[in-house]
Chains A and B, each alone.
Chain A
């Protein structure tokens, strides 16, 4: 199929030309004949090449898909299993759509075609594959084959750029019109195809739209030819242009339009508590199935594996049940990963302080980890079960925290059982961490609502009542001296007065306002300035100021 090879072979035979052997001569004439023919059919060959390329691509793709399937099948060899509804099914069955691999290949092909000047098939944006049909070469092919190929090509050729242009040109909210347009367009092409290629079949559906379309191609073609070179360059820009327009059109209807005030956490909780749980019986059965695995978990934990639970639904209750039924007689640590201010440090602290009864601080979590490792290695009677709800929570999903937790879990006398919920949670772990964790995966789809996990007011729809913040604020306030409390009150008042002034710096940086107050307005504050600065440097003031500036507590401070 490639020309260079043909050229080379003919040149090779040229060297032999002078040998006066009949056979050889005959051979050469044969070859030159083919060469001439080749030159004559230059155009057709190139077209053929194009078509063949396409075939190759689709072949490759088919091959890839096939291989993938084999692989999936090899991994997914599974007899039916009663428990667990997800793990047995291979990915291909769940994600039935194919990922578009062809985009890259298409680009390669397009650039290659753009380089050959005599090529008259415009690959990128020709909505007119009838060009192909006009060449005589194609008539040699069987017509059924041709239809298939061209339709394939059309699929490759027209989709991407067309859609791109569409996006650029029409920021049209009405989806229907777009789909209508595209549908009609493809129909036109289809019809043309049929008309050109299978001329014997007389289509009786000659719509006006089709005739109009048939008249347009030449114009389009010339235009396309002109623009071809620049188009290739533009394509890239257009792509980014199309994607950079971050103006995603969304409706302006916000929840504010309901005459409904936002619920706070408590009312939400109360409301939902009374709401009947659908399919309670089935879910209970499911949970019982999971609970039958408890003893197995214990066994596997003791054999050096750690257990991770995944699947839809809150696994908190399940783990709690595991804890209460099997861990009552042993030292164990429960970590609520969903707790908004959980840190690895606090986990390590609770191990060192409460489990190991160690008093003292550590320079870094790594030191702390080293200490724990040492203690557990020294004392073989020490055993610790660690239950982590939501190992993949915002606070714990960082690389360093996971590393530390993984190292912790790799200790032979620490037994870790954790749950993950986020869909991309497994991305947290690389091979090294995975081998430290030594996971056994258990699918425990419970379908139960995430009551606790979502209760920490991190939801975007719950009214941020600030009850948490308020309570912590109260704690801080009570711990202050009278003087400091006074200063705080003044600051708060000041802050509230200026709250609505957008240019007021205190809205953005709590320190500015504090210092500003101290320096100007209140003379007696100056007296306590030294004292104040001390306080400011301490953490409590920092957090306080932060809460204040966030504005959520402003109502409560007034009290």
Chain B
């Protein structure tokens, strides 16, 4: 059936027989056209399981991060509600002022992530506080009428969910027929709460145990900034009139700053609200946690290369601040890696490596031999081993397994040492290696970090740290190393502990020593009163200090920094230098960028800059030039074909948005890009 028609724009195709494709179809799609190796299924399964792990991990992280916020909100809501319950004096006095309890939820600019937060919030509320939760979005509420409709629709629907379906018809009627107004809402609320009261306790036990007798009605404004001022004002004023009948609680989702409430609402209206502020975690911190838990861990075999990580972080920082998008990009990386790299079948947990390596086919062995990092490795071996590696599959497999295990160990060590280094660099003034651990991570992945200027300067700065800082840092490092799973750090831990004890000894020794040393310059200073002499003495002091031998503390400090430096040089080798890194590291940043951060305009431009295209256009010109010669009689007549092609070219330009017909003249078009106005 054709999809061209002059009377229809939509075409539905249903397969004639109900032969639905099997559920493992995604596995079939996993076939790479270039090489259909037998491992595809395994690869796909690995990919899926890895992604599912990561997904649940991120969800867990999200939940943990929001827990604090949600707990606070829940306690706030239950407080505001208990007042209404007990009819205490406080409530009556608030009622006198007609104040609506309001939570202002500052969520940050990453609007796309808010949905998840709100979903979690409404779930928690429905579980703990009240079944009556309405989520309103600005785009659904252009006027107060729409807002009320939406609100009542949501509230009455949730009523169905909570109560059994026995009086469904009555609710349905009310939703459709009743005018959407505050009184009808109140009468609905009364009927609902009364019904709950009158019902037998046995039937309602589980719901009444979760909710109070007259639960509050929570209205969530998802994007407070986008609501029109008038709608908000009207709603607040109207509902404040009825607050004594309807225990309403508002929650404002705010993306910018809490000031917006006062900017949107005049004082007369905002005074009707009793606002409490809640701050959610900033998206940057969220990202840091995600990176920390997903990338800087040896739990997941899959790793991101430097450029890929950079692209993802850049999209986050420069485009949307959306953690969800970051995770989506991460997912794409995983899929792309497992799809395009046949050897990614080996990108699995350590326990599976042996089995998988030994079941590799000959083709896959050849694939390994083709890896650039493996070739470099082979070149470094002696000739006998070289031949073995290149000809003997089983030897290669043995070697591969060993190398992969090495890689795993390398990564474990890498993460621990990276964290140690971060302890040092994150407290230095001006942060030469970046404040966040992700920056340090990128720097270390990019090239040998100890060859960079920034590293040099941060070492310089570290050599000037004071003792207390240094000691706490060393303690932190010890903790990190102890916590890490790497087995090689016993020596390092010993060494660091030794440093710590030395510092302690130093403290004792110094305390006695310093007392008699420090007296003399102090006295000298007191003698002099005028500026000139003071300056002179200070200069002298400085001179003497420079020439003086290093104190014991300074010696020790140098030693510590040097030791850290040696650890860095040993463990923070960039991953590119490791053999077989291609198997676990995804490095196709260009692909990723093309899919996530595409530039359609650029594509158009490049395509139009394409000489082929111009040649095509040029041929038209040439043909047009030839035409009059061929047909001299009608020199004014343009060839039909060329005319038609011209017409098509014009329509195409119009379709592409380069031109539009100008209304002023027939046959005239206005240029829309490249300087048209």
Contacts and interface: CB of A to CB of B under 8 A. Distances in A.
Interface of A: 21, 23, 71, 74-81, 84-89, 91, 94-95, 243, 246, 248, 250, 254-256, 258-260, 263, 267-268, 271-272, 274-275, 278-279, 282, 292, 295-296, 298-300, 302-303, 305, 310-313, 320, 323, 327-339, 341-342, 346-347, 349-351, 354-355, 366, 381, 403, 420-426, 431-432, 434-435, 438, 440-443, 445, 447, 449-450, 452-454, 456, 458-462, 468, 471-472
B605 A95 contact: yes
Interface string B650-669: 11101111100100111111
B451 to A, nearest CB: 20
Interface of B: 3-15, 19-21, 25-26, 28-31, 33, 111-112, 139-140, 307, 310-311, 314-315, 318, 320, 322, 324-325, 328, 331-332, 335, 339, 530-532, 588-591, 593-610, 612-613, 615-616, 619, 634, 636-638, 640-641, 643-648, 650-652, 654-658, 661, 664-669, 673, 677
Contact of A346 (B9, B320, B590, B655): B9
A8 to B, nearest CB: 22
B619 A278 contact: yes
A253 to B, nearest CB: 9
B645 A88 contact: no
Contact of A431 (B320, B615, B648): B320
Given A79-B589, A299-B29, A299-B335, A86 B603 contact: yes
B596 A441 contact: yes
Given A302-B25, A346-B9, A459-B650, A23 B532 contact: yes
Contact of B658 (A255, A423, A431): A423
Nearest to B616: A278
28 contacts: A23-B531, A81-B594, A85-B606, A86-B604, A91-B599, A256-B667, A259-B636, A260-B638, A263-B640, A263-B647, A267-B640, A268-B644, A271-B644, A278-B615, A298-B26, A298-B29, A299-B335, A299-B339, A313-B607, A339-B9, A431-B111, A441-B596, A449-B648, A450-B652, A450-B655, A456-B6, A458-B651, A471-B6
B579 to A, nearest CB: 20
Given A250-B665, A272-B644, A447-B613, A441 B324 contact: no
A250 B676 CA distance: 14
A254 B20 contact: no
Given A423-B656, A440-B595, A460-B667, 11 more contacts: A77-B590, A88-B594, A279-B616, A298-B29, A302-B26, A347-B10, A423-B658, A432-B112, A443-B598, A447-B613, A459-B654
B637 A421 contact: no
Contacts of A21: 530-531
B602 A332 contact: no
Most chain A CB inside 10 Å of its own CB: which residue of B33, B604, B609: B604
A502 B669 CA distance: 27
Contact of A274 (B21, B324, B590, B641): B641
A468 B667 contact: no
Contacts, number: 302
A417 B71 CA distance: 41
Contacts of B640: 263, 267, 271
Specify the main secondary structure of chain B where it touches its partner.
helix
Given A271-B641, A272-B644, A310 B600 contact: yes
Contacts of A334: 3, 10-13
A354 to B, nearest CB: 4
Contacts of A254: 665-668
A547 to B, nearest CB: 15
Nearest to A453: B655
A461 B26 contact: no
B669 A460 contact: yes
B12 A460 contact: no
A355 B15 CA distance: 11
A515 to B, nearest CB: 30
B598 A310 contact: yes
Given A78-B593, A440-B332, A435 B645 contact: no
Contacts of B637: 258-260
B651 A459 contact: yes
A275 B590 contact: no
A249 to B, nearest CB: 11
Contacts of B339: 296, 299
Contact of A435 (B4, B325, B612): B325
Contacts of B652: 449-450, 454
A243 B111 CA distance: 39
A296 B594 CA distance: 15
A441 B602 CA distance: 13
A87 B10 CA distance: 31
Given A86-B604, A403-B139, A421-B656, A331 B14 contact: yes
B29 A78 contact: no
B656 to A, nearest CB: 6
Nearest to B325: A435
A68 to B, nearest CB: 11
Nearest to B11: A334
A426 B600 contact: yes
A164 to B, nearest CB: 15
Contacts of B595: 440-442
A91 B314 CA distance: 16
B668 A250 contact: yes
Contacts of B26: 298-299, 302-303
A95 B603 CA distance: 12
A163 B112 CA distance: 46
Contacts of A278: 612, 615-616, 619
Nearest to A389: B3
A271 B307 CA distance: 51
A328 B616 CA distance: 36
B598 to A, nearest CB: 3
Nearest to A286: B612
A462 B647 contact: yes
A312 B608 contact: yes
Contacts of B641: 271-272, 274-275
A424 B605 contact: no
Nearest to A390: B655
B644 A263 contact: yes
B311 A431 contact: no
Contacts of B594: 81, 84, 87-88, 441-443
A295 B33 contact: yes
B9 A311 contact: no
A254 B669 CA distance: 11
Given A74-B314, A88-B590, A454-B655, A330 B606 contact: no
A89 B601 CA distance: 11
Contacts of B606: 85-86, 89, 94, 445
B600 A299 contact: no
Contacts of B607: 85-86, 311-313, 445, 447
A543 B101 CA distance: 54
Given A254-B666, A298-B29, A333-B12, A263 B657 contact: no
The 3 closest A-B pairs by CB, nearest first: A86-B603, A441-B598, A339-B9
B183 to A, nearest CB: 24
Given A94-B602, A468-B6, A275 B14 contact: no
B648 A454 contact: yes
A342 B10 contact: yes
B3 A320 contact: yes
A355 B12 CA distance: 7
Contacts of B667: 254-256, 460-461
Contacts of A80: 590
A440 B654 contact: no
A432 B590 CA distance: 25
A259 B28 CA distance: 60
Contacts of B588: 79
Nearest to A253: B667
Contacts of B597: 75, 441
A425 B601 CA distance: 9
A95 B8 CA distance: 40
Contacts of A335: 9-11
